[in-house]
Chain A
Amino acid sequence: MQESLETIKTNSVKSIQSADSVQDLDQVKSFLLGKKSPLMDVLKKIPTLPVEQRPEIGKLANVVKQELAQLIQQKRDNLIQASQDKALESDRSDVSLPAFKRFNGAYHPLSLVTRDLCELFSRCGFSIKQGPNIESDFYNFEALNIPEHHPARDLHDTFYLNNKQVLRTHTSPVQIREMIQTKPPIKIIAPGKVYRCDADVSHSPVFHQIEGLYVDKGVTFADLKGTLEFFLHALFGKEKKIRFRSSYFPFTEPSVEVDVEYTFKGKTVWLEIMGAGMVQRKVFDHVSYDADLYTGFAFGLGIERVAMILYGIDDIRLFYENDSRFIRQF
């Protein structure tokens, strides 16, 4: 029995070492350690042995079994290692080749700036609202205290549709729509496209504005100043000087233009950034707000203008030419 175990061991070690692949080794393993293997035959015969020989032979057989299993595991590890080494050695990949990837996407610069502006006002509690591009005369003019044959209409070169509707000349109609729908307090911003039939090369017939409106009890001009100073400092830098210059809009009183001091190529100038003011009482009358109880401020700014300043763009037409070589720069 003992000699038989020794022979089995010697033969087994030989066949394990001669295996040259994992599959080969698996076959060897099932031949050496499977149910019908010579080692199993020995183990099966142990009950037939004399009682006193059984422990010794049994122990020896188990030792052989363990040794063989260990050898097989070692051999497996070696074979895997060798095959991995070989695969790596023959890998001819050139990872320096340009990636096979989708082209880079890009946001339109006006979207980026609009988002930034909305985010800044959102921090002050304003929520975003939208309104239609095609408006009635009432929302675009009448309700904003710009009656027909009012000189303020000169400030708006208006596109009309054949059915007498207008393409909104500013985002202010959104104010009216929101106030008609909602009771105060109200704190909204409305970004969007606006239209002026201006044939000038430095003007675009379509451009973008963002409009803000805040109405509550006890809203003051000082609050308007504080809110816009926060906004402009956040946008252009804390060190920038800001000034409020008297102006006129039919829907606000007092009305101001807000300028930011800006330095271009060493030259410091005041840039006109936005218009603002306290909501006109007549506007409140149009939306049935109690003008004795509520006050509010409104403001508006041109998004292209902000984008042109922030990105150093010198021609407004670039925004609408939409050349991808332009858009991808932002």
Chain B
Amino acid sequence: MKFPLSWLCEFVPISDSPERLAELLSMAGLEVEGIETFGDNLKGIITGKIEKIDPHPNADKLVITTIFDGKKRHQIVTGASNVSKGDVVPVCLPGSVIASGMTLKSTSLRGVESHGMLCSEKELGVSEKASGIWILPPETELGLDFISYASLCDTVFDVAILPNRGDCQSVWGLAREISALTGQTLALPKISVTESDVSHSFSVCSKSEHCPLYIGRYLTGISNMASPVWMQRRLALCDLRAQSLIVDVTNYVLLETGHPLHAFDEAKFKSKKISVELSKKGSSLTTLDGHKRPLQDGQLLILNDKTPVALAGVMGAQNTEVSDDTQNIFLEAAFFSPHVTRRSATLVGLRTDSSVRFEKGTNIESTDLASLRASELLQQFGGATVSKNVCVHEDKKSAYFKSRTLPFSLDAINYFLGSSYKSSDVKPLLKRLGFTVAKNQVQIPAWRRADIEAMPCIAEEISRLLGFDSIPATLPRQALIQDSVDPLVLMTQRTEDFLVSNGLVQVNTYPMVSQASLDGCLMAVDSTSMGLANPLSPELAFMRPSLLPSLLQICQHHHARQQRDCAFFEVGTAFSPDQEDQVCAFMLTGNFFESASTASQRDVNALLNQHCQGLFSQWLAFAKLSVRVDRTDLDNWAHPVQSQAVFLGQKKIGTIGLIHPKVSAAFGITEPVAYCEISLRACVERPREMPRYMPFSSFPHTRRDMACLVPHELAYSEIKAIIDKCRHKTVIDVGVFDVFESESIGTDKRSIGIYVLYQGQNKTLSDDKVNKIHQRLCDQLQTALPLQIR
């Protein structure tokens, strides 16, 4: 929100530099986001009247003007074509300086002397409008110091108003803050309006608690010409466009007092009955900007008889808009409740200078003051007759009128802040802010009622104005034992450590994905619970059910940049309608080892899926987890042959293996992609068992091998399952030492060489004993499975 310094200075003396003032305000919660200076170069611009225009003897495009400044006449040659005899214009005489910093000198233009310049708005730093001289209202006094008259030289603060500081959305409000900060006295203007006994039959009535106060003034005989230049200038500095006196005055008063006003053209009213009511869904009104606005239930409307003439607090309707020839107006000043105004503005998608003020709360007690201030200005500059018969609807029982008094104890405040403020520090400060401090009580000013509700609010007022440096920095002295570490946090950190030390690069991706990437992964999600109602783009439209689409996108990014050796992982959230799961996923493509320079190294590098599985099983050991993997319940995106599902107990907690080539192809990756995704949450949900020490044997073990000839469709896991089932107590290890296929054993078979280690706990096992146990195992295997042991 913009605040011109000259305007603030009307109500509070300011001696600080703009930079210092900005710092003071910012530290106190009124952050100055920008300081703009206008016209600081300007010097000596005055107003003058064009008395005479003569043709230039030597140039068709130039004319010779005679300018009268009230005392003297000046001959000035100009090329402007928009001036006529009798116009009052800004004049720059020799020795004066224009906005660009150029000092004007007397000169001769095509043989005719010229002692000055007629100025355009651009030359005075007011706008970019360079075509044509700035024509001022004809009644403008001549010889005026135009720089000060038109507020040409000003500094504008752009202040971010916090949501609780509705009271600072006005020049008066900010001036009050400055007064509290600098100790200077605030002087709000005395308003003087001459009221006349103009009778009328207007009546107002609010039928909603959301409008507890409605004041209507009847003003007649206004000459609705252009507003004074200085007023236009101030509106412009605050980003408002000058329109006509009536509209400009309502805007000016809005900026000055923080009270939005609305002027209805009385001639356009159908009746004299004004009421405030809540809308019904299905109705509509056309606002001043020409848009037809359909309405919902419960929006506050101003009605003339039955016709909506304004969306209360947001924008007036076109049907009663003030025009250039408007003479009589019905001037509305009211209080509309913040949340109803905000809702209404949101529903029609409008944020106006009016709605932003109502939604942060206006000061109900000074509503009439704003109406009077506007009347005063309209009387002063438009000759308005102000009727003393004011229409008022006032619901004094409304909570908005209720004054607020809070208990006041400086001890409580000091205890809460850890400060040691004295009464002499605090009381003058609160007084300047409008608080009335009695012995144990403080009365809250009307403009802060919505914000100041309890002791901490007063503590905030004191500390922000005295500066937080006035409070010491201490460390808490309370005894407290830190809570135990969340097992999921610990598991996450350990998993990150494990994967990073094993050569993987951690990524951090958006949890939202596109429909296309879900389709590419052959995944479907419930769009009600997982779909965004207001996505920024289709790329980020659904909460991901798995990290797979995210990691595939990362691999795609790298493959497209000649980086085909990918080893990425992420610990992130996978979403489903009933829960959020913290999962760890890693993805490998290309080479797993760096610098494979020999044939054997390259062979090792090519074993992508084995590396993935190896990492996974090492991680299991690291995390002290024992899981079951099998090929049931595979996801659509998993490779139909080279992947497995991971189970903890009966619960599926992940997948390990290659992803389906169809899926990687959807992401433009043509080579195999190995992937593992495990739910860390599931891993930490099961109770942690305390390990028990088991004595280990000091006697040598004996190894027996068996070469099993197995049909292709028989998986090793099935053989292993039987071995585990029949496991003799002396078996300490079982593993595979060789797998081969050849035509000699038949193309439908392969040979798996399995070793078994036997070891006695208390003695060395005899060969005979081992042979007997091993033979039994071989027999059991051959009975249970279609395999041959050679």
Contacts and interface: CB of A to CB of B under 8 A. Distances in A.
* A and B are interacting partners: yes
Contacts of B601: 100
Interface of B: 26-29, 31, 162-165, 338-340, 342-343, 346, 359-360, 415-419, 454, 456-457, 459-460, 463-464, 468-469, 471-476, 478, 480, 482-486, 488-489, 493, 496, 499-512, 527-536, 540, 543, 554, 557-558, 561, 563, 565-568, 573, 575, 580, 582, 592-597, 601
Contacts of A223: 418, 474-476
Contacts of B164: 248
B757 to A, nearest CB: 29
Contact of A105 (B346, B460, B489, B503): B503
B147 to A, nearest CB: 34
A325 B507 CA distance: 12
A188 B505 contact: no
A99 B594 contact: yes
B169 to A, nearest CB: 11
A59 B257 CA distance: 129
B604 to A, nearest CB: 8
B22 to A, nearest CB: 12
Contacts of A151: 163, 338, 342, 359-360
A154 B456 contact: no
A107 B570 CA distance: 10
B783 to A, nearest CB: 44
Given A105-B501, A246-B27, A134 B594 contact: no
A218 B339 CA distance: 35
A264 interface: no
A281 B456 contact: yes
Nearest to A102: B503
Contacts of A230: 475
A280 B454 CA distance: 10
A262 B532 CA distance: 39
A144 interface: no
Top 4 closest pairs, chain A to chain B, by CB = A222-B418, A220-B418, A246-B29, A102-B503
13 contacts: A99-B594, A102-B502, A104-B503, A107-B506, A122-B482, A147-B339, A162-B528, A187-B480, A225-B468, A245-B29, A256-B468, A324-B558, A325-B563
Interface in A68-124: 97-108, 110-111, 115, 122, 124
Contacts of A130: 486, 488-489, 582
A124 to B, nearest CB: 8
A254 B163 contact: no
Contacts of A104: 503
A225 B163 contact: no
B565 A103 contact: yes
B565 to A, nearest CB: 7
Nearest to A182: B483
Given A128-B489, A162-B531, A328-B505, A322 B594 contact: no
Contacts of B512: 205-206
B557 A226 contact: no
Interface in A278-300: 278, 280-281, 295
B502 A161 contact: no
A162 B529 CA distance: 6
Nearest to A279: B456
A205 B418 contact: no
Contacts of B480: 125, 185, 187, 216
Interface in A191-225: 193, 197, 199, 205-206, 214, 216-223, 225
Contacts of B163: 150-152, 154-155, 248, 250
A255 B531 CA distance: 35
Contacts of B475: 124, 223, 226-227, 230
B505 A327 contact: yes
